[in-house]
A and B are shown apart, each in its own frame.
Chain A
Amino acid sequence: MVIDFDSFYNFPYEFDKIFSDVFNPHHQRRRKASYPPLNIVEDKNNIYVRAEVPGISIEDMEITITDKDLVLKGQRKLPEGRYFRQERPSGVFQRIVSINTTVDVAKVTASTKDGILNIVLPKSEASVPRKVGITVE
C-alpha cells in the first residue's frame, strides 16, 4: 500500500503549511479559483490567456472565440479503477473570458506544453498604438 503520512505525522510540515496559509493569501486563492486556473497577460501586441490543464490534450478542449468572449470548454476524464486517493479534479469545465479590446480573431492560436495551455490573441492593428513598431520575434 502507498500511504502518505505527511498530514498525520509530519508536524513540522503541518506547521509550515499553516504558516504559509496565513502569510500567503495567494495560496488560498488558488484553491478557490474556478477550474482551470487562468492567467491573463498582455504585452504590446498580444494578449495571452494561459491555463493550467494537466492531463488534458488539446483535442479534448474546445476553444471558441467571438469578438467579445473567449470560451474554453472541455472535459477531464480520469482512469477507472479502485481509488485509494483521489485529489485531482475531473468532469466538465467551462470558462469564459471577456475581451475588452479588439483582437484579430482570425489569427488566434493555441498550444499546450507540459499541461499549460497558451492562447495567443493578437491585438488588432487599430488597438495597437501607431508609434509602436511591430516587433520581430
Chain B
Amino acid sequence: MSTERNMEKFSPATDIVESEQGFYMYMDLPGVSKEALAIDLDENTLIVSGKAAVTPDTDEKYIDQEFCEGEYSRKFTIADVVDRENIKANHKNGVLELFLPKKAEVQPLKIQITNE
C-alpha cells in the first residue's frame, strides 16, 4: 500500500446523546488503539484524532478491500454548560465514549414541596 493511502483522513461517525447529567459522545474508531488516540481540549474546541494501526508489511495480498488504514480526526465545539474539568473518556472495542458533564449550576434542581 502506498503511503498516500495510509494518510487518508476520515471523520469518525459520532453519536451524541443528552442526559440530565451531561452529554455522552460515542465515536466509532475501528483499528485505533488507546495509545494512538489523542483527545485535546482547546478552549471551546474538542479535537479527537487517532491513527488506525497499519498492518505489518508482509507478503499478504489483498483480494478485496473495503476499508483501509487512515487517520481519524474531528472537531467539536463545546458549549459553556460543559464542566471542562471533569470530562471522562473511555475506549472499548474501537468505540470512544466521552462523557461531558454539565456544570452543577445548570443541572435541573428538584424543589421539594412541603405541607404545612
Contacts and interface: CB of A to CB of B under 8 A. Distances in A.
Given A55-B28, A56-B93, A116-B94, A83 B8 contact: no
Task: Give the contact-size bracket for chain A.
Answer: 35 or more
Interface in B8-30: 8-10, 13-19, 23-26, 28-30
B79 A2 contact: yes
B86 interface: no
Contact of A2 (B23, B65, B66, B93): B23
A93 B95 CA distance: 18
A57 to B, nearest CB: 6
Interface residues of B, number: 47
B77 A4 contact: yes
Contacts of A79: 17, 24, 26
Nearest to A20: B9
Interface in A16-43: 20, 24, 26-27, 29-30, 33, 37-43
Interface stretch (A67-75, A84-92, A102-110, A123-131): A84-92
A52 B33 contact: no
A119 interface: no
Query: Which of A29, A30, A37, A115 has the most C-beta atoms of chain B within 10 angstroms of its own C-beta?
Result: A115
Report whether over half of chain B's contact residues are helix, strand or loop; otherwise say mixed.
strand
Contacts of B68: 26, 39
Nearest to A48: B60
Contacts of A33: 66-67
A115 B29 contact: yes
Nearest to A117: B30
A3 interface: yes
Given A27-B8, A55-B94, A41 B77 contact: no
| A24, A57, A116 — most chain B CB neighbours (10 Å) | A116
Nearest to A13: B75
B58 A43 contact: yes
A134 interface: no
A41 B62 contact: yes
Nearest to A33: B66
Given A2-B23, A33-B66, A55-B94, A85 B59 contact: no
A4 B10 CA distance: 15
Given A2-B100, A5-B75, A5-B77, 7 more contacts: A3-B79, A4-B14, A39-B65, A84-B18, A88-B15, A114-B94, A116-B94
